[in-house]
Amino acid sequence: KNEVEQSPQNLTAQEGEFITINCSYSVGISALHWLQQHPGGGIVSLFMLSSGKKKHGRLIATINIQEKHSSLHITASHPRDSAVYICAVNSGGSNYKLTFGKGTLLTVNP
């Protein structure tokens, strides 16, 4: 079993829909990252969470440390949100070490 599990693996939505991507992890962590990767490879960090909830524009990320679970929500999805979304956890503390989920491929159709 992977230390970081994401669901779903693939997600297709219509423009305007509310999107949720889930991430569960089995190790102790000091922080969880949500990353976005577009075709071509570049990765952008969307959020880093160690507790609670963060919001940036139409994106919201939450984390429940007790349940070892995080969610990424996209409100009013748009075709430009189409990308791979990756959950990663820092399980190394100050000896930084990211462990990644397999990613969720999101396609938003106009």
Partner 1 sequence: KAGVTQTPRYLIKTRGQQVTLSCSPISGHRSVSWYQQTPGQGLQFLFEYFSETQRNKGNFPGRFSGRQFSNSRSEMNVSTLELGDSALYLCASRDDGVNTEAFFGQGTRLTVV
Q: How far apart are CA 53 and CA 43, in angstroms?
A: 22
Q: Residue 4 CB, nearest distance to partner 1 (Å)?
A: 10
Please give the residue ranges that form the binding site for partner 1 (CB under 8 A): 30-31, 33, 35, 40-45, 48, 50, 86, 88, 90, 92-103
Report the residue number, 70 or 90, with the smaller CB distance to partner 1.
90
Nearer to partner 1, 2 or 14 (CB): 2
For residue 103, give both structure tokens. Answer: 């990613």
Least gap, CB of 55 to partner 1 (angstroms): 16
Q: For residue 62, with 0-12 CB atoms within 10 Å meaning exposed, 13-18 middle and 19 or more buried, which class applies?
A: middle
Nearest distance from residue 30's CB to partner 1, in Å?
A: 6
User: CA 69 to CA 11: how far, in whole Å?
Assistant: 19
The nearest distance, CB 110 to partner 1, in angstroms, is 27
Q: Between residues 42 and 57, which has the closer beta carbon with respect to partner 1?
A: 42
- Give the residue with the Cβ less far from partner 1, 17 or 105: 105
